[in-house]
Amino acid sequence: MRNYDLEFLKHFSMVIGFLMLVTAGLIVGAYFLHDSLPPEVNPKAAQITEARIAPAGAVYAGETGAAAQAAAAAAAAAAASSQVAYGGTLDGGEIYKNLCGACHTNGVGKAPMLNAAGIGARAAKGVDMLYKHAIEGFTGPDGGIMPPKGGNPALTDEQVKVTVDWMLANSK
């Protein structure tokens, strides 16, 4: 080996040795520093942070996305149905005024009006059929749309039935 090769190896070895000492010093320093950090005050701090920085939306694409979107819609419907609408009132007039009247007063979406020609004509199909259409939703042959539970999934079946009864009683 030549003299300048030996000189290079000697300097290179010293640099590597120095870098190893610095690395070992940083590891020891980090070990002692880690022990001196105070623990989290709130044990749920990580969950709170995750919730705060969670994405605001999601992209649904393809079959997997459609399944995720359907699951999200089902979860939203389940969350909404766990709460009782209008304080659980069984006053059909109150529910009509707050929800049903928006369509059935003006015929929005081809909804039958609250009169003998509108709701009264539908009574010929039978009350059970009216209950079914009001609870499950219905698309009529004329294109009229009745969303399930009037568009409020928080309504109970019993609340829907008393509202249908109230509408029938007041359509004469």
CA atoms within 13 A on the CB side of 136: 9
In a domain, 132, yes or no: yes
Task: Please indicate, yes or no, whether residues 160 and 99 belong to a single structural domain of this protein.
Answer: yes
pTM of the model: 0.52
CB contact set of 157 (below 8 Å; sequence gap of 6+)? 131, 135
Task: Please indicate, yes or no, whether residues 91 and 165 belong to a single structural domain of this protein.
Answer: yes
In a domain, 72, yes or no: no
Distances (CA, A) of 115 to 105, 109, 111: 9, 16, 12
Domain total in the chain: 2
In a domain, 62, yes or no: no
In a domain, 46, yes or no: no
Domain carrying residue 8: 1-38
Task: Please indicate, yes or no, whether residues 165 and 90 belong to a single structural domain of this protein.
Answer: yes
Q: If you search the block for the tokens 């042959």, which residue do you land on?
A: 141
* pLDDT of the chain, 172 residues: tens digit per residue: 688 888 999 999 999 999 999 999 999 998 888 877 677 677 788 888 888 898 887 776 777 777 888 888 888 777 765 667 777 788 888 998 888 888 888 888 888 888 877 877 778 888 898 899 889 988 888 888 889 988 888 888 899 999 999 988 888 6
Instruction: Say how far apart CA 128 and CA 104 lie, in whole Å.
Output: 19
Task: Please indicate, yes or no, whether residues 165 and 95 belong to a single structural domain of this protein.
Answer: yes
In a domain, 44, yes or no: no
In a domain, 107, yes or no: yes
In a domain, 52, yes or no: no
Task: Please indicate, yes or no, whether residues 91 and 160 belong to a single structural domain of this protein.
Answer: yes
Supply the CATH number for residue 132's domain. Answer: 1.10.760.10
